[in-house]
Structure 1
Amino acid sequence: MSPTRRTTRRSLARRRVPRAAALALLLATATACANDIPPAKWSRGLLPDHVTQQGDVVQSLWNGAWIAALATGAVVIVLIIWAAIFHRKRKARAELPPQVRYNLPIEMLYTLIPLVMVSVFFFFTARDSETLTRVDGNAPVKVKVEAFQWSWRFTTTVNGKPTAPVAGVPVHDFHQGPQLVLPVNTKIEFDLSSDDVIHSFWVPEFLFKRDVIPGIAEDNPGRKFEITTLNRTGVFAGRCAELCGVDHSRMLFSVKLVPQAEFDQYIATHQAGSAQ
């Protein structure tokens, strides 16, 4: 290889390194990757520890899908190894194995088995999707979520009385963003809206996210969902999961789950402040 060609390749390699680093930084920013995402464990299929009853449904579907995928992969690998060992070329001269036009039992096998597998996957996915998106409309706590570039506004309604809205600004730490206070062991209905671009409401511990699309009518069930919180208090990070503009990565908020007595006190204070 000539020195000129080597120099050219080295120059191209030097250029690619900063480009790759810039691309990695862009992807990390676009997906809003940060250290506030909860740790995942292999025992949960790398999902975070959920804080809702609906999370049990997601966890079960996720684990079942992984088990089915790994079992299918294991069968395929075994068949590949078996074919490579027992059907390898045994003679020095080129000789084709016996040729057949078709094998009806085998063709039925590799047609029916995938059909059954896909049908089973579809059944459980459709069943769990219906459960996760069901909105009964009888939740005692309702939260209106308004997404905007680049933060959130939360208005909680209890017994038909709304609290004063809690709004935020773009921040670098979810603790500094607007905080949504919710009670444990309670069904909660969310109503999502946006006046500018598409956002996405995401709390990792909910194991659920929903796009916030502008122009959706208030009576459209597609902008609502329900969760039932577990008896687990704490503060959990939330964020926008849809690339929505220059400050997308700073569109952070938090959800604080508190005991019912503490929530009642919070609501009484904020509803009184709203009335003034």
Structure 2
Amino acid sequence: MRHFAALAAGILALPALASCSAEVSRGFLPGARDTTNNTQLITDLWVNSWIAALVVGVITWGLMIWVIVAYRRRKNTVGFPPQLSYNLPLEVFYLAIPLIVIGVLFVFTDREQRAIDARYPNPDVVIDVFGKQWSWDFNYVKEQVHEDAGQQAHLNGSYGAPDRLPTLYLPVGKTVELHLQSRDVQHSFWVVDFLQKRDLYPGHEQYNPYISITPNRTGEYMGKCAELCGEYHSEMLFKVRVVTEQEYDSHIADLKAKGNTGNLGADYDRVPQSAPAPQPAEATE
């Protein structure tokens, strides 16, 4: 039993010993805790959920090993141990504890999700994000300018290199609302280091098609489609550049000087609205 106690103590000590690592402290998630205003909420929910799962797991494994060791069949034992049809206190315990654990996890998840999904009443930057097979279009709504129409990455190298990925510019420290829409089939907008992604459903606005964030760190971040959307889904890539306010204003001015005024609208939809099916001609004698 001393060996069992030492093993259990070692397992319980692992999280404390590993917490010295920055990677472990953020649950091996990419990026930093303060990349956006939401990444810390998401990281804490993720890490604390794993801690709760580990605690429940250690207790469960410990009880299982204890029963196996303490109540194992001894040598020269004859017959069967006393048989019990039920144990009401134990069964109530087995029912109550999982309900409490699930309830606590639900409350914290719901609280953080509501905070993450809350829209800004008057965001500094509003951007229309259009997913399409197999690229992205970005309209800066308040500035009435747009990035060049997105092109497929072509990762195999036979049609070009992925150096002209569609790039979305965001000013650091400013509130941003992304309005996500699809030009054809279902896609999913995912900036890996932001720890957020959201599906784009073509023609549906009944769910929440917005991401509201405040970028806190300048830098370049990779984005991709996270929903299998066709043959070249893996090449539906983009970049996000979080820059200073001066660099953002300069980029907007460059787009205006380049002639990228207005919005990229329905003309760029890959799958236009289908016309009514023709009626079959009447049979003639």
Q: TM-score, length-normalised on structure 2?
A: 0.77
Q: Which residue of 1 aligns with 2:221?
A: 236
Deviation at 1:111?
Answer: 1.2
Gaps of 5+ in 1: 1-39
Q: Distance in 2 between matches of 1:94 and 1:188?
A: 73
Partner residue of 1:261 out of 216, 229, 246: 246
Moved more, 101-110 or 246-255: 101-110
Q: Distance in 2 between matches of 1:100 and 1:275?
A: 78
Gaps of 5+ in 2: 1-21, 156-160, 263-285
Residue identity over aligned pairs, in percent, reads 41
What is the Cα-based RMSD across aligned positions, in Å?
A: 1.8
User: AA paired with 2:243?
Assistant: V
Contact 1:234–1:258 (CA under 8 A) maintained in structure 2: yes
Q: Secondary structure at the match of 2:189?
A: strand
Q: Which residue of 2 aligns with 1:193?
A: 181
Deviation at 1:93?
Answer: 4.8
User: AA paired with 2:201?
Assistant: I
Q: Distance in 1 between matches of 2:75 and 2:64?
A: 21
Is 1:97 aligned to 2:85, yes or no? Answer: no
Give runs of aligned pairs for residues 9-88 of structure 1, distance below 5 A. 41-50=23-32, 51-88=35-72
User: AA paired with 2:93?
Assistant: L
Any runs of at least 4 consecutive aligned residues in structure 1 with deviations exceeding 6 A, and if so which? none
Structure with larger RCO (C-alpha < 8 A, sep 6+): 1
Q: Distance in 1 between matches of 2:89 and 2:207?
A: 48
Q: Distance in 2 between matches of 1:61 and 1:227?
A: 17
Q: Which residue of 1 aligns with 2:230?
A: 245
Contact 1:189–1:225 (CA under 8 A) maintained in structure 2: yes
Higher helix fraction (1 or 2)? 1
Q: Which residue of 1 aligns with 2:145?
A: 163
Deviation at 1:202?
Answer: 0.4
Deviation at 1:275?
Answer: 4.7
Moved more, 161-170 or 240-249: 161-170
Q: Distance in 2 between matches of 1:72 and 1:240?
A: 35
Q: Give the paired residue count.
A: 232
Distance 1:175 1:183, change over 3 A: farther
Contact 1:137–1:189 (CA under 8 A) maintained in structure 2: no
Q: Secondary structure at the match of 1:53?
A: coil
Partner residue of 2:212 out of 203, 226, 236: 226
Q: Secondary structure at the match of 2:96?
A: helix
Deviations along 1:122-159, one digit per CA (max 9) or x if unpaired, are: 101111111111113411101100111110000113xx
Partner residue of 2:199 out of 205, 211, 221: 211
Q: Distance in 1 between matches of 2:112 and 2:256?
A: 36
Deviation at 1:94?
Answer: 4.6
User: AA paired with 1:60?
Assistant: D
Q: Secondary structure at the match of 2:220?
A: strand
